Structure 1
């Protein structure tokens, strides 16, 4: 119980509602500030990059029918931003961090609240929810709520965009951890029993690797107009939302037009996963042995 006698879930939900309200309000303020500045923008997907486009990108926080909860939709673009707009974007990102921290606390303290949060929060803003009727987008996608707006820390001379389709997420596992994950599936299933026997046949101390192929994403290579204080002249970053670049004159830096779709095959040499065997060891977990 809280000091006022309320269950802790009431406090957490009230705090989350307040942070969500602040996130929506600050995002609206950011878009309004950018529109008032008259600065330029560019969209990878659309011919017109206006305030409506930017608001849609920044407030796209919904599940689509059939969407994998682990996947997020991308909105690639560039936004020229004066000092006022950059400050507004920083405020939005700070609120996103607060939202993510509260969700993490709720998952630990009261995980049963998560489905209610996804269903209830959208209705707090009718203007957000009006366009959802009949579209199957009535639930929040939490990851899309808290993902940060990409920001360049200094004026940029040019941006080069390219698909990155070779991403791998590799997590080391012990034999014991792999066994627990298999047992959490269905240890009566024949294919699970086969994998448990395979696991029992290797040394307990052998490290294993769980590998997840990541979805293609857009990477931006930024070339600064002047070296930063630490001497850097460039930076590479993944962008799933429009990239805000400081621009006192409202102009965009020089940029390229990447291909409309990612390459069908790997374009870079294998790195961290080159030490893994070619054949998966535990298919149900995507676990590999090291060579």
Structure 2
């Protein structure tokens, strides 16, 4: 077997392991349900948990940089936490092998996206029946959030960081455009537009960042390092150690982030309103 395809075989095995560990976790929860809360579900039961943890797919038209969130809190005893640990270990292994494939055999990525779903008929049927497009690798390997210790309370809030801005030189922008399809009319137009400005003019590449749910966790007792609180992003259900099967005190954040501007004017308002190079999301600065 060629080395590249050996990596693919290893990835297939870790994908199988990830699915099996998730199914075991869900079976454990189904057998002994614990207290749970979910942002967009009034009844976060075992079926909801399974759907959340096995959502590995792109939806039609989904931006490849975006992952779907399943914000929730689950009280977890030692047995359930052991299953969470196994799931995260399998996901970490999957991510490590995938990183090696990207580095050593990136041309296999389209093939593995097509092959992996067929290894689990139930998932493939779901893929076809729900109008989903293909495997979303990041949603496969993102790990399950776990609180370090029992909590006295948890506070959830949307966090919007707006836009990230990266400065680009004209030369850098030209290299990025040339790496795209140079024969495409819209790329040629942008290259011509770029050639019409001074070489030393700074440009700005803008990336809009999706809102995140942020959890502020308050521990019942100090951790080993003395901390009494921790903040973490929670795109998947947060598993909280609980000896009595109950959740700590927690708030109920709004179901969706506030889309109104709440921050003061920032440096990105020095950019022109109209995008200069649409294919790169590059803007010029105002004079």
227-236 vs 187-196, which moves further: 187-196
TM-score by length of 1: 0.86
Over the aligned positions, Cα root-mean-square deviation in angstroms equals 2.5
Task: Specify the alignment match of 1:102 in structure 2.
Answer: 97
Three-state SS of the structure 1 residue aligned to 2:226 is coil
Match 2:121 to one of 103, 123, 126? 126
Check 1:196–1:155 CA distance in 2 against 1; reply closer, same or farther (3 A cut). Answer: farther
Unaligned runs of at least 5 residues, structure 1 = 1-5
Give the drift of 1:18.
0.5
CA deviation string 1:205-234 (max 9, x = no partner): x7x653311112211111212222222222
CA deviation string 1:113-145 (max 9, x = no partner): 212211111111122223333433252111110
Q: Is this contact kept in 2: 1:159–1:220, CA < 8 A?
A: yes
Q: Is this contact kept in 2: 1:16–1:99, CA < 8 A?
A: yes
Aligned residues: 280
How far apart in 2 are the matches of 1:252 and 1:274? 42
Check 1:8–1:47 CA distance in 2 against 1; reply closer, same or farther (3 A cut). Answer: same
Task: Specify the alignment match of 1:93 in structure 2.
Answer: 88
Equivalent positions of 1:58-77 (< 5 A) are 58-77=53-72
Equivalent positions of 1:1-291 (< 5 A) are 6-137=1-132, 139-171=134-166, 173=168, 176-185=171-180, 186=182, 189-198=188-197, 200-202=199-201, 209-269=204-264, 274=267, 277-279=270-272, 282-284=276-278, 285-287=280-282
CA deviation string 1:31-72 (max 9, x = no partner): 222333431111111111111111110010012122222211
How far apart in 2 are the matches of 1:191 and 1:144? 33
Check 1:173–1:257 CA distance in 2 against 1; reply closer, same or farther (3 A cut). Answer: same
220-229 vs 170-179, which moves further: 170-179
Three-state SS of the structure 1 residue aligned to 2:134 is coil
**Deviation above 6 Å: which 4+ runs of structure 1?**
none
Check 1:94–1:177 CA distance in 2 against 1; reply closer, same or farther (3 A cut). Answer: farther
How far apart in 2 are the matches of 1:98 and 1:290? 44
Unaligned runs of at least 5 residues, structure 2 = none
Q: Is this contact kept in 1: 2:165–2:268, CA < 8 A?
A: no
